[in-house]
Structure 1
Amino acid sequence: MSSLADAFKPHEKLAAQLIPHACGTDDGSHDIAHILRVFRNALRIHAEEGGNGAVLAAAVLLHDCVSVEKNSPLRAQASRLAAEKASGILAGLGWQADDVAAVAHAITTHSFSAGITPETIEAKILQDADRLDAIGAIGVARCFYIGGRMNSGLHDVADPRAETRELDDKRFAIDHFPIKLFKLAEGFQTLTGRRMAAERHDRLVAFYNDFLEEIA
């Protein structure tokens, strides 16, 4: 555990406390590797945008402590449930109520599905850091991994570009690009996050175009 916690420097002591609670699922797109990537994204943004580092680190470590599958009717409630669980964990570790509330707000608002606007810099950074992991090369990999978990096909053989049909990312993984992934870069909260998102968005578009060209 210590070597894994060390990857979360300079918050390795906090990580050692929270890693056992961090993942609420066997979903490989929301595992400890995802949390570490989000943490590193958050550190890059935090270095330029500021905020409370401990609150941000705790929010990152616990933002997926309750995970709900993408096709579950409870999906929109996942971040609220995670915030409630995180609040109990941090209170049990002796955190001050204001800091617990700050972490809970960041976790509650980070989710695309929740549709809640983040109000604090820590919440804005967490949302940006998490969404960065949904675009770019990592976003492509996660999209198809999740498609496999949901038993989706790669694309519609007859109409891969959805020119004469409705987009349906429950049936075809590639449809998730225009349905959601291409829209994520528009909603970033911080200047640093927007800059990072623009680079990853370009990679996402390039993959999509190459994919469609190869199956044409």
Structure 2
Amino acid sequence: MDEPLEEIRDYVRTVFRDAGAHGLDHVQRVTLLCEALGAREGADMSILIPAALFHDIARPREEETGVPHEEEGARMAESFLRSIGYPDDRIAGIAHAIRAHRYSTGIAPETLEAQILSDADKLDAMGAVGIARTFMQAGERGGGIADATGHFHEKLLQLSGRMYTESARVLAQRRHAFLAAFLEALDDETDGTVTLP
């Protein structure tokens, strides 16, 4: 499987030229999480790892056209995988995992591989890296601290209770605790008062 994976990685790198909240660095972290979670949970890595590499491939297109990246990404993955002769019996599972990974999509991940990808994507939105990504995203959209803290409350603080796998739940508890502690400190520092020791 190493040769097709290298072709997939090369293709994904051509799409993500810049870093960002949903850039190549995010894809690489999600893939590493999938490798660790997949090994622990007994996933089919020939489905999981390509799905992780492709999961945000259409983010740039979504920003340009408004087409949901999970749908367009699944289509792009299917097309590319067929073009390199990837086994047909794996492609449907990869496409399903991509379609079901998004927090707000409403598509339930029906396979272990789709559940792990969903978990890994959510884990990368939590903890220290989740904090960094949230501020990056706020800046990318011209927002500030209030926009970032709104995102923490609307979405990120809800993620730990939405993990599918036991391995992800353990990681999520740690990352959630860090996120909550950071948010409490940030709220203290931005509430409009200053308390001197």
Q: TM-score, normalised by structure 2?
A: 0.88
Amino acid at match of 2:12: A
Match of 1:131 among 122, 138, 141: 122
1:41 counterpart residue number: 33
Q: Aligned residue for 2:162?
A: 187
1:124 Cα deviation after fit: 0.6
Q: How many angstroms does 1:14 deviate by?
A: 3.5
Q: Does residue 14 of structure 1 match 2:4?
A: yes
Q: Secondary structure at the match of 1:111?
A: coil
CA displacement at 1:152 relative to structure 2: 0.9
Superposed, which structure 2 residues align to 1:40-59 within 5 Å? 40-59=32-51
What's the secondary structure of 2:155's corresponding residue? helix
In the other structure, the counterpart of 1:141 is 132
Structure 2 CA distance for partners of 1:203 and 1:71, relative to 1, 3 Å: farther
2:195: which partner in 1?
none
Q: 1:59, 1:104 within 8 Å by CA — same for their partners in 2?
A: yes
Structure 2 runs not aligned, ≥5 long: 192-197
Shift of 1:97: 2.0
Matched, 1:29 2:21: yes
1:64 to 56, 59, 82: 56
How far apart are residue 20 of structure 1 and its match?
A: 3.0
How far the C-alpha of 1:54 sits from its partner, in A, is: 1.5
Q: In the alignment, is the contact (CA less than 8 A) between 1:64 and 1:79 conserved in 2?
A: yes
Residue by residue, what CA displacement relative to the aligned partner does 1:179-212 show, whole Å, maximum 9, x if unpaired?
1110111111111111111110111101100111
CA distance in 2, matches of 1:89, 1:71: 21
Higher helix share: 2
| Greater mean alpha carbon deviation, residues 108-117 or residues 130-139 | 108-117
Q: 2:89 aligns to what?
A: 98
Q: Distance in 2 between matches of 1:71 and 1:55?
A: 27
Identity fraction in percent: 34
Q: Secondary structure at the match of 2:27?
A: helix
1:89 aligns with 2:80: yes
1:127 partner SS: helix
Q: How many residue pairs get matched?
A: 189
CA–CA separation in structure 2 for the residues paired with 1:132 and 1:71: 23
Is the CA contact 2:81–2:91 (under 8 Å) kept in the aligned structure 1?
Answer: yes
- Among 171, 177, 180, which residue is 2:152 paired with? 177
> Is the 1:21–1:65 contact (alpha carbons within 8 Å) kept by the matching residues of 2?
no
2:175 maps to 200
Q: Shift in Å at residue 113 of structure 1?
A: 2.6
User: Does residue 114 of structure 1 match 2:105?
Assistant: yes
Residues 68 and 115 from structure 1, CA distance in 2 versus in 1: closer, same or farther, beyond 3 angstroms? farther
- Tell me which amino acid in the other structure corresponds to 1:82: G
